[in-house]
Amino acid sequence: MNTIKLERGTDKLAAVATLTFNRPDKLNALNDELLGETEAALRDLYNDHSLKVLVLTGAGDKAFVAGADILTMSKLSSGEAHTFGARGHRVGRMLEEAPFAVIGAINGFALGGGLEIAMCSDFLYASDKAKFGQPEINLGVIPGMGGTQRLTRRVGIGMARELCLTGKMIDAQEALRITLVNAVFPHAELLPKVYETAATIASKSQLPIRAVRRTITFGADVPLATANELELQAFSALFGSDDQREGMGAFLEKRAATFTGK
């Protein structure tokens, strides 16, 4: 892999993997190779049934992903732009529909396509040095990998319109205020805090992790009654599993549960 790194944790983080966008000389800008390698890596991770959490971050201290590679994009035809954007959408769907949790560790610039990829995470933790924005309008285009839609769902229609229409960049504290990120930490503390949360999630059963992600993802855009039915079906399906019996038994016996994912 030339443009990403994929690493697995140990001990309490044994069920946690980290995918690092790795083009630090280009501020980890998205190009077709990076998106292709990410898509292939996610396809492999889908088959890793021991994985519970994936952390996304960027190489270096300056950027998560500072957008798409403008030199590459400037040469695209309309058809080629469609193909490029469609690959970004596929990566986004794979992250959102993954059988494991996804945490975005935003260590610097998350602009354009970088913010679009970040928003496919379950939630985002940010360094106090992080910057966010959808600056595509400054280039004569609009977000093309889900930015207008995911940003609206995260921060509301008014704020999404403001960010996409002005192209302005906001800092981590403003991102926290508008609920784009869940928490902001001093730069050096970002990854330790991310892995602390990842370890907490990794200590849970894989079955409800998957169920929570599925019901929230697919329930968000349907009527409430339909969404509640999705939840009810997912809730009841967990009963009779080994992990349900273990979890409830451990609670009653006042001991720590040992989950097996069955």
Phi-psi region of 222 (alpha: psi -120 to 50; beta: other; left: phi over 0): beta
Please state the φ and ψ torsions of residue 241, each to the nearest 5 degrees.
Answer: -75, 155
For 69-103, give the DSSP string: -HHHHTT--HHHHHHHHHHHHHHHHHHHT-SSEEE
Q: Which of 136, 174, 229, 253 is catalytic?
A: 136
Q: Is 229 known to be catalytic?
A: no
DSSP element (H, E) containing 107: none
Q: Is 259 helix (H, G, I), strand (E, B) or coil?
A: coil
CB 10 within 8 A of CB 51: no
CB 144 within 8 A of CB 136: yes
Q: Is 132 helix (H, G, I), strand (E, B) or coil?
A: strand
Q: Which of 37, 39, 97, 116 is catalytic?
A: 116
Q: Is 162 known to be catalytic?
A: no
Q: Annotated catalytic sites, by residue?
A: 116, 136
